[in-house]
Amino acid sequence: MSGEREFLEIDSGGLRLEAVLHLPSIGKGKAPGVVVCHPHPRYGGDMESGVVVGVCEALTGSGFAALRFNFRGVGMSEGSFDWGGGETDDAESAMETLSLRDEVDGSRIGIAGYSFGAAVALQAAMWSGMAQAVASIACPAAHLREFSGMEILQPKLFVLGDSDHDFPEGQFRFLSKRFSDPREYEVIQGADHFFRGREAAVGRMSADFFTKWLKR
């Protein structure tokens, strides 16, 4: 991965969470920043997920600071799984930590998530005014259906593989259109829920989206 990498800890309500901060190798002034949330820990998800790393790599290549971290109870992070509630607190704490870095412009913070992490990212964006844009990658169908009836004001990107076992493409397009503008949706051909071999494509879409909204 290009740029500098720093291991750090996030304080989330008194729990210490392990995290990795990636900084762009070149840039002028403070960089915009994006927090990236990992998939479901009950199914082996953590911050080393190929999609999470691919998104971070694309972001740093586009001049962003990218922060990936392990939710509570994952890896070396303290605490235990909390079915999304505590994990949303973790995501908000990660955004706050990123915004306070000297290298980062705290007024230009975004959040992205993959699978379970996408649902957490959407919830954190809705709850927190810190997120200026949000990218949802392969959000589970039940969660996206629920969020489509809620007001999320920030610019939104929705990404799905056309062979996702959890989510028929037609249903994904229908639900994505229910969100208020500004919103975009992309379907990656030949990709399933795991995006194996397509991580770079997911990363490019995410980086282009955040460039549009956080580098204007």
Check residue 167 and give its pLDDT: 96
Question: In whole angstroms, how large is the CA radius of gyration of the chain?
Answer: 15
Check residue 43 and give its pLDDT: 96
- For the stretch 157-183, what's the b/e string if a residue is b when 16 or more beta carbons lie within 10 angstroms of its beta carbon? bbbbbeebebbeeeebeebbeebeeeb
Q: Is the pTM of this model over 0.85?
A: yes
Check residue 170 and give its pLDDT: 97
Check residue 28 and give its pLDDT: 72
Check residue 1 and give its pLDDT: 44
- Which one is the CATH code of 4-214: 1.20.200.10, 3.40.50.300, 3.40.50.720, 3.40.50.1820? 3.40.50.1820
Q: Which amino acid is at 120?
A: V
Q: What angle do CA 61, 63, 65 make, to 5 degrees?
A: 100
Classify strands 156-161 and 131-137 as parallel, antiparallel or unpaired: parallel
Q: Name the token pair of 182.
A: 């500004």
- Over its length of 216 residues, how does the chain's per-residue pLDDT go in tens digits? 457 999 999 999 999 999 999 999 876 789 999 999 999 999 999 999 999 999 999 999 999 999 999 999 999 999 999 999 999 999 999 999 999 999 999 999 999 999 999 999 999 999 999 999 999 999 999 999 999 999 999 999 999 999 999 899 999 999 999 999 999 999 999 999 999 999 999 999 999 999 999 997
Task: Report the candidate in 63, 184, 65, 187 with the shortest Cα–Cα distance to residue 133.
Answer: 184
DSSP 3-69: SEEEEEEEEETTEEEEEEEEE-SS-SSPEEEEEEE---GGGT--TT-HHHHHHHHHHHHTT-EEEEE
Q: Where do the structural domains in the chain lie, given as residue ranges?
A: 4-214
- 66: phi then psi, degrees, rounded to nearest 5: -125, 130
